[in-house]
Amino acid sequence: MELFSDEIKIKTRKRVELVNITDRVKSLVKSSNINDGIVNVFTRHTTSAIFINENESRLLGDFEKIIENLVPMGGSYGHNAIDNNADSHLRAMIIGGSQSIPLIGGSLDLGTWQSIFFVEFDGPRSRRVRVTIIGK
């Protein structure tokens, strides 16, 4: 069994932004020389998240609207006395900050419509996502 670890650097441009990082994860998988195992994708930031879903622009717009309905940016939050981003933290808690994906025969075992997204909730910022691969 082997272990591989590397980082993806992301520069976001908007407050809320969905960045498709599938190709960058695939590129790290290739350079790892690990064929079968598990790939963990982990954001190191408390106002961002990782999810896997379809890369379709209208759907991504729908996500921005539904998360605004559930956790409004303009809500009344205690944390905003310190830093004006409580909504960003709360959204991150709900969506979650990592995903673990099976690796088979050198490829991520994603379904046809699955892409991996870095979800920015408090941009624009420079972000780092850690990719860890365990397998053989």
# of chain residues touching a second copy (CB under 8 A): 57
Minimum Å distance from CB 11 to a second copy? Answer: 16
The residue within the footprint of a second copy, chosen from 20, 33, 84, 98 (CB under 8 A), is 98
The residue within the footprint of a second copy, chosen from 44, 84, 106, 107 (CB under 8 A), is 44
Of residues 46-85, those binding a second copy (CB under 8 A): 46, 51-54, 56, 58-59, 61-63, 66, 70-71, 75, 77-79, 81-82
- The answer to whether residues 35 and 109 touch, using CB atoms and an 8 Å cutoff, is no
Evaluate the omega torsion of the peptide bond into residue 124 and state whether it is cis, within 30 degrees of 0.
yes
The whole-angstrom separation of Cα 49 and Cα 42 is 8
Q: Where are the beta strands (DSSP E) in the chain?
A: 2-11, 17-20, 37-43, 48-53, 98-104, 107-108, 115-120, 126-135
Interface segment toward a second copy; rule CB under 8 A; list 8-16, 19-27, 88-96: 88-96
CB of 13 or CB of 94, closer to a second copy: 94
Q: CB-based contacts of 120: which residues, under 8 Å, 6+ apart?
A: 10, 12, 14, 15, 16, 17, 18, 19, 47, 48, 127
86 binds a second copy (CB under 8 A): yes
Minimum Å distance from CB 82 to a second copy? Answer: 7
CB of 23 or CB of 69, closer to a second copy: 69
